[in-house]
Amino acid sequence: MKSNLRNQAILAATFALVALPAAAASSGPASDFAALDTNHDGYLSKSETSKMKGFDTAFDEADANHDGKLDPDEFVKAGAIYDRIRVGHYVDDSVITAKVKAALIKEEKLKGFDISVETKGGQVLLSGFVNSAQLRTRALKIASSVNGVRDVRDGIVVQ
C-alpha cells in the first residue's frame, strides 16, 4: 500500500514537472507571436500586428533587416520597444499634470480653489470650482501655457 502511494506521488510529481514548462510556454512572447501569426508563415506583417494600437513605431524600429515583417526575435524586441513607448506616454502625462498643478498653485488668486488636473496624450482636463469667470479663464490660460500641453478642456464650474 505504501509503495503504491509512493508510486502515485512520484507519478504526480513527474506530470507536474512536465506540465510546468508547457504552462510557461503557453503565455508570453512566443504564444503572442503564434496568436498574431494568422497566416502561419513564421513572420508577422504590419497587418497582423494592426490589432495592437500604436505598435507601428515599435514594428519599424525592431524590423532590423527592413523586410517589412518581424521574425520571433524581432517581435520580442518590438514588444520591449512598445512597452517603453507606452510607459513613456504615461510618464509624460504625469509630468504635464504635475507642471500644470504647480503652475496653478503658484497663481495667488487660484490657491484657495480646488481645481483637478487630468492629462492624457498631452490633453489636459481642468475640473473643479472657482468664484468667477475671470478665475476660470486664468486657470485655462495658465494650463495652456505649460510646455507639453496640446489642448486644455474646461470642466471648471463658476459658483
Lowest mean pLDDT segment, chosen from 45-59, 64-78, 80-94, 116-130:
80-94
Q: In the predicted model, is pLDDT for residue 25 greater than 80?
A: no
- How large a percentage of the chain has pLDDT more than 70? 78
Strands 123-130 and 151-158: parallel
Query: Where in 22-144 does DSSP place strands (E)?
Result: 44-45, 69-70, 115-120, 123-130
Contacts of residue 89, defined as CB under 8 A and 6 or more positions apart, other chains included, come to 121
Q: What does the pLDDT read at residue 17?
A: 44
Question: How confident is the prediction for the chain on average, in pLDDT?
Answer: 81
Q: In the predicted model, is pLDDT for residue 65 greater than 70?
A: yes
pTM of the full structure = 0.51
Res. 24 pLDDT band, cuts 50 70 90: very low
Most confident by average pLDDT, 3-7, 9-13, 15-19, 124-128: 124-128
CA dihedral 65, 69, 70, 71 (to 10 degrees): -80
The 3-state DSSP class for residue 125 equals strand
Q: What does the pLDDT read at residue 108?
A: 86
